[in-house]
């Protein structure tokens, strides 16, 4: 983190530092003590120590670095021997960054994510509010935007529900009873290392407002004081300045002054109140001529915690030609100022101007720019081909020449040329961030990602996730792969693009790794079938110890196994068989591991029906606690669990079942006694098969 406050003492920090340097002796010493409890603790990127070690191994494999390979193998073995979880997933972009982390020492990378408060007005699947955010994906969240209130010389909300829920006739109109600010800052409960910042300005706040507020010292200081009050009141951790853009020399000087004075005021307030200093960042221009006009880089860099490079919109429908939205490098055919329209040129301009790379955060736009082509039948469309205006608006974002990531997945319009967020470009940019030793990445914006997971077929927020097994299979390190497979790393987990460890090894032509994983899959399938048979026998025999052994073998897959049809047949499931034995401990064990009391597909006999019939009150109580709806599930012969208990004379179970109001009305009958009292019973007392027990019960309760 780039601030004055050391707030990075998170659980497992020492283990992560040991993993960073592959220090096996330190690892062993730590695991002897209390740090064993933090063996799977994640850092701010969701990485466990095992992830970091596997990433080092992957990089060493590619570079054929035997020294690092040996160290990483030993480090991984120690972690696994002490019970490290092999199947934790982490954010892909960060994985690519951390591949290089052992050469970048212990720098903490930033993942800044912007949220826009106008995304709440998008229709249907485009609707987005702060509670939809997954806070584990980001280290810093930015709320875009706050306005500049000239009259009160203070930041102010753009939307009414920024600070309070919308009410009409005293009823809340918004989905949540909380304001957007409240929803946003409550995300810190789920990720205690998360920082939230309020972004001041944006494209709709013109330079006139910035000039008026910040050009004179008196008004500037008043606005800064009110900013501090505003941030503290609404529980933000800092401020992001988004002035788009300083346009003249005077603006350039004003920008330097406001950055300096904000930082000094934040430091002073921190000292006086003994509170953590507010963070200060800025979102800045990416095009070199614009940078040179707008900023004195040497003056502002020391006062900013980090600088968000808006490294996108290099091309758009304002041009008369098509072009990529956020290219990483220049094209060989580009000349003159065209060669500044890429992210490499942006980063170089800021570094050449005097900004340390460790302050720079590279912006990644989760959207594409679209164009209408002049020559729609040209099969060889390339950047700088003539365009005749913006592409059609997306269904949800409704902005001409603009498509969100999820709209690109969902719809590619005819006669439209679009530039989207490409998989390989994503990888290259993460490598670039690491190699340039930048502070991290910034995402514009979360609400443009596939947050529902229903458009791109890649799950929610498709920032690719991988397990240690994915990492190792992709590079083909057979020693570590064998180690992970031996310790039952999950081979079924898929990443953002649907890849398993096997498909990654196949894709990268790691022949030996492919063979190892295939053999392991076949072996596991065989063992699973054998263990399923043992578990079925244990449930039939009421053998709790054998059942425990089988479930321990299945591990995380136990729930899926318990709720499948054993051996692929249509026989009654495990829980049903356990209920037939009347073994309370066995039923409790299966329920603990996620067994679902579903009726048999052919007979509709449910575990509750069987428990009621054999008269085991303890099992009935357990099943009703988890699955109360089963009281209304009848067999194929239309017999309810209630009737089964009555027919066998299990009075205590009948009494219990009568306390449940879930019976279908069609199966109930109303009786009136001689005192005109009405009773509703979930069976027909006058049916020909009514038993003496049922009549006895009716007599006792009439």
Tell me, rounded to whole angstroms, the distance of Cα 324 from its chain centroid: 28
Which secondary-structure segment (H or E) carries 243?
Answer: none
Distance between CA atoms of residues 52 and 395, nearest Å:
41
β-strand partners of 465: 91
Calculate the CA 450 to chain-centre distance: 11
Task: Quick: pLDDT tens for 369-392.
Answer: 887 877 766 656 677 788 888 887
Which of 481, 476, 448, 484 is closest to 463 using CA atoms?
448
Rounded CA-CA distance 449/137 in Å is 12
pLDDT of residue 421: 45
Report how far apart, in Å, the C-alpha atoms of 352 and of each of 143, 256, 335, 537 are.
30, 18, 20, 73
Vertex 55 angle, CA 50 and 61, to 5°: 125
Cis, peptide link before residue 349, omega less than 30° from 0: no
- Catalytic-labelled residue, pool 244, 269, 407, 694: 244
Whole-model pTM over 0.75: no
Measured from the Cβ of residue 629, the count of other Cβ atoms closer than 10 Å reads: 12
Same fold, 110-368+420-448 and 604-702: no
Question: Residue 466 in contact with residue 92, Cβ under 8 Å?
Answer: yes
| CA-closest candidate to residue 364, choices 428, 314, 421, 402 | 421
pLDDT at 400: 86
Q: Within the chain, which residues score under 70 in pLDDT?
A: 1-9, 43-46, 59, 62-63, 89-108, 166-176, 376-381, 406, 409-427, 450-465, 496-497, 565-572, 661-702
Sequential DSSP letters for 561-629: HHTSPGGGS-S--HHHHHHHHT-HHHHHHHHHTT---PPPTTT---HHHHHHHHT-HHHHHHHHHH-GG
| pLDDT recorded at residue 698 | 44
CATH code for 13-89+467-509?
1.25.40.20
How many whole angstroms from its chain centre is CA 447? Answer: 13
Domain ranges of the chain: 13-89+467-509, 110-368+420-448, 525-596, 604-702
Cα R_g (the chain), whole angstroms: 32
SS3 253: helix
Q: Which of 140, 115, 131 is nearest to 45 (CA)?
A: 140
Q: 335-341 — which CB contacts under 8 Å span 24+ positions? A: 337/288, 337/289, 340/287, 340/288, 340/289, 341/287, 341/314, 341/315
Topology (CATH) of 604-702: 1.25.40
- Whether residue 677 has a cis bond before it, omega within 30° of 0: no
CA distances from 496 to 364, 423, 461, 646, 696 (A): 18, 10, 9, 54, 63
Say how far apart CA 82 and CA 532 lie, in whole Å.
28
360 DSSP β-pair partners: 307
- For residue 140, the cross-strand partners are 112, 195
Q: Which of 203, 114, 119 is nearest to 161 (CA)?
A: 119
Strand-pairing partners, residue 681, are: 669
Considering the domain delimited by 110-368+420-448, tell me its CATH architecture.
Answer: Alpha-Beta Barrel (3.20)
Q: For residue 645, what is the enclosing H or E element? A: helix 641-647
Q: What is the DSSP letter of 22?
A: T
pLDDT at 6: 40
Annotation marks residue 549 as catalytic: no
């Amino acid at each position: 983190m780039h601030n004055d406050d050391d707030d990075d003492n998170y659980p497992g920090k020492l283990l992560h530092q040991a993993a960073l340097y592959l220090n096996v002796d330190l690892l062993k010493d730590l695991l002897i003590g209390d740090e064993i409890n933090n063996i799977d603790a994640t850092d701010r990127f969701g990485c466990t120590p095992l992830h970091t070690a596997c990433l080092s191994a992957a990089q060493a494999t590619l570079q054929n670095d035997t020294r690092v390979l040996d160290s990483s193998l030993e480090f991984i073995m120690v972690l696994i021997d002490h019970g490290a979880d092999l199947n934790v997933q982490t954010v892909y972009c960060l994985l690519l960054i951390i591949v290089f982390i052992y050469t970048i020492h212990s720098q903490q990378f930033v993942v800044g994510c912007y949220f826009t408060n106008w995304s709440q007005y998008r229709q249907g699947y485009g609707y987005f509010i702060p509670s939809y955010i997954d806070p584990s994906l980001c280290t810093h969240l930015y709320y875009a935007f706050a306005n500049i209130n000239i009259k009160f010389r203070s930041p102010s909300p753009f939307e009414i529900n920024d600070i309070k829920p919308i009410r009409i006739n005293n009823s809340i109109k918004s989905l949540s009873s909380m304001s957007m600010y409240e929803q946003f800052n409550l995300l810190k409960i789920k990720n205690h290392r998360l920082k939230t910042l309020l972004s001041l300005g944006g494209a709709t706040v013109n330079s006139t407002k910035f000039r008026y507020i910040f050009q004179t010292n008196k008004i500037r200081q008043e606005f800064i004081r009110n900013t501090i009050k505003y941030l503290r009141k609404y529980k933000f951790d800092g401020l992001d300045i988004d002035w788009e853009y300083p346009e003249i020399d005077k603006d350039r000087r004003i920008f330097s002054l406001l950055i300096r004075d904000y930082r000094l005021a934040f430091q002073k307030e921190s000292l006086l109140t003994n509170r953590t200093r507010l963070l200060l960042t800025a979102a800045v221009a990416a095009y070199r001529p614009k940078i040179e006009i707008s900023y004195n880089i040497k003056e502002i860099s020391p006062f900013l915690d980090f600088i968000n490079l808006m490294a996108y919109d290099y091309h758009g429908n304002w041009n008369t030609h098509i072009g990529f939205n956020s290219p990483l490098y220049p094209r060989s055919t580009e000349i003159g100022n065209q060669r500044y329209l890429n992210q490499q040129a942006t980063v170089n301009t800021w570094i050449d101007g005097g900004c340390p790379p460790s302050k720079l955060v590279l912006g990644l736009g989760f959207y594409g720019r679209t164009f209408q082509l002049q020559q729609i039948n040209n099969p060889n469309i390339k950047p700088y081909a003539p365009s005749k205006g913006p592409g059609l608006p997306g269904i949800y974002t409704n902005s001409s020449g603009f498509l969100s990531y999820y709209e690109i997945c969902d719809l590619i319009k005819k006669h439209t040329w679009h530039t989207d967020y490409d998989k390989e470009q994503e990888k290259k940019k993460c490598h670039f961030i690491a190699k340039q030793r930048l502070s991290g990445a910034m995402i514009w914006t979360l609400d443009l990602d596939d947050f529902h997971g229903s458009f791109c077929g890649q799950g929610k927020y498709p920032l690719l996730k991988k397990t240690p097994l994915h990492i190792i299979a992709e590079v083909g390190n057979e020693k570590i792969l064998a180690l992970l497979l031996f310790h039952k790393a999950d081979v079924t987990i898929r990443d953002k693009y649907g890849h398993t460890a096997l498909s990654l090894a196949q894709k990268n032509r790691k022949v030996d790794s492919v063979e190892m994983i295939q053999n392991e899959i076949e072996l596991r399938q065989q063992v699973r079938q054998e263990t399923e048979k043992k578990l079925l026998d244990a449930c039939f025999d009421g053998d709790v110890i054998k059942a425990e052994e089988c479930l321990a073998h299945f591990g995380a897959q136990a729930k899926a196994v318990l709720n499948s049809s054993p051996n692929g047949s249509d026989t009654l499931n495990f829980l049903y068989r356990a209920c037939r034995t009347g073994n309370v401990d066995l039923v409790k064990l299966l329920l603990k591991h996620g067994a679902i009391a579903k009726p048999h597909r052919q007979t509709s006999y449910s575990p509750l029906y069987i428990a009621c019939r054999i008269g085991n009150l303890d099992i009935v109580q357990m099943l009703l606690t988890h699955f109360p709806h089963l009281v209304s599930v009848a067999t194929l012969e239309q017999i309810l669990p209630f009737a089964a208990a009555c027919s066998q004379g299990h009075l205590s179970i009948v009494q219990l079942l009568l306390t449940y109001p879930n019976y279908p009305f069609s199966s109930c009958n109303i009786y009136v006694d001689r005192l005109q009292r009405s009773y509703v019973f979930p069976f027909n007392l006058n049916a020909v098969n009514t038993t003496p027990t049922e009549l006895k019960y009716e007599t006792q309760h009439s």
